[in-house]
Amino acid sequence: MSDLRIFSYLPNPRIWKATIAARLCGVEVEVRGSSPKDLQSWLWDFDAHRLSSDELARSGDTTTGKIGFSGTLHKTRAFIEAHPFGTVPAAFSPDGKTGIFESNSIMRAVARLGEKRFPLYGRDAYEAARVDSFLDASLVFARDSQIYLLSLLNGTVSPEIHSRMSDSFAVYLGGINQALSPAREFLVGESVSIADICFVAELALFFNEKARSAELEKKGLRPILHAGVDLEFPRAFAHFSRLRAHPAFAPDVEPYLKKLESSTRSDATLRDKFAARAG
């Protein structure tokens, strides 16, 4: 039996926070889920699974999808009791009775479960509080990036949304860059912590901007992840590059980023071909 079960849409960089932490501190985490669209055919529950056509027809546990989802979703009463906000990722204790929501809290749970094996949450109360400071700071960046990336996905990005995201990016990456100055190896203490894990997951998710660059071009907006941005925040990007290749990080991060990079190249090739034909 796993120490923690997570139900989520997949792929989702924010659940990497838990899976990376689990690899580092020896906690067994089970992940269930599928693509966002496919989750309409799943039972949202501790025993989450894809519903058969007969189960879908009989299901009385239905609700209307809101942010990030549309149509009818199938959430059990037990799911709502465990997860009062009804969102994913949704984590559960082994007996399914205790729900843990929000990716940073799920990551904290893994760190606490494995604290005797690896001190991911700091080595004393002061380091733990400093870790929390980075996690709290990430929430503003995560909220702004969610709004921004969704606007790129649905074609509603505006100069105002782009400007707010640009400011948020500069504040967050600037803080990370400063925290690693002049030559610190980790954000907190002398070893990797969940502050580092959170940073890598949130920045990796933001790399989705590269695959949506066409929407920015339509609006005459400059990509926030433009060429040279790594020179503005050199320590932050060097930290990201080093950790993404770490054995605990790479199984999640590398395939995701390589797929995004491949998609970006394909989009650029198509735009070049279109421009050549138009010319």
Give the Cβ contact number of residue 75 at 10 Å: 19
Contact 248, 196 (CB under 8 A): no
Q: How far is CA 185 from CA 19, 87, 240, in A?
A: 22, 35, 11
Q: What is the pLDDT along the chain (279 residues), one digit of tens a residue?
A: 899 999 999 999 999 999 999 999 999 999 999 999 999 999 999 999 999 988 887 766 666 555 556 678 999 999 999 999 999 999 999 999 999 999 999 999 999 999 999 999 999 999 999 999 999 999 999 999 999 999 999 999 999 999 999 999 999 999 999 999 999 999 999 999 999 999 999 999 999 999 998 899 999 999 999 999 999 999 999 999 999 999 999 999 999 999 998 876 544 443 443 333 333
* 74: enclosing H helix or E strand: strand 72-75
Which two tokens mark 190? 């002398």
Q: pTM above 0.85? A: yes
Rounded to 5°, the CA angle 154-159-162 comes to 70
pLDDT confidence of residue 277: 34
Angle at 107 between CA 247 and CA 13, to 5 degrees: 60
Which residues, in sequence order, are CB contacts of 277 under 8 Å at separation 6+? none
Place of tokens 């105002």: 160
Pairing of β 29-34 and β 42-44: unpaired
